[in-house]
Amino acid sequence: MDDESRAELKKQITDEIEVQKHLIESFTETSKPVSPDNAIGRLTRMEAINSQNISEASLNSAQAKLVKLEKALSKVGMSDFGVCVRCANTIPKGRILLMPENVLCVSCAEKK
């Protein structure tokens, strides 16, 4: 991976980190507990609790992805970053952004 590609990937990872931080902020708000004294109907309360649970799951997912992206960002400068450990082919940028913890290209991952 050349320096220009690394710089572009670093910017994309940084942008994705910002997106994840905004999502975490949003999900933190929507995953707050539903107050039991809230005068909403029984079904509406159940829907609110269900929505809260979905927000909590999304929050956990966003936090996990943020950690992986930050780890990937710290490794961007390494010479072996973005290179498949099996075949030494370049890992596509889209794959790195979606699954930053991956060290295999698509072909090698499919063979696994």
CATH architecture of 3-111: Up-down Bundle (1.20)
Give domain limits for the chain: 3-111
| pLDDT at position 71 over 60 | yes
Range 24-47 average pLDDT: 77
Q: Which residue has the higher pLDDT, 36 or 91?
A: 91
Q: Which residues contact 28 (CB under 8 A, 6 or more apart)?
A: 59
Cα separation, 103 vs 96, whole angstroms: 9
Q: Which pLDDT does position 100 carry in this prediction? A: 86
| pLDDT at position 59 over 80 | yes
Q: Tell me the average pLDDT of the chain.
A: 87
Q: pTM for the complete prediction?
A: 0.78
Residue by residue, DSSP assigns 26-92 as: HHHHHTSPPPTT----HHHHHHHHHHHHHHHHHHHHHHHHHHHHHHHHHHTTSTTTTB-TTT-PBPP
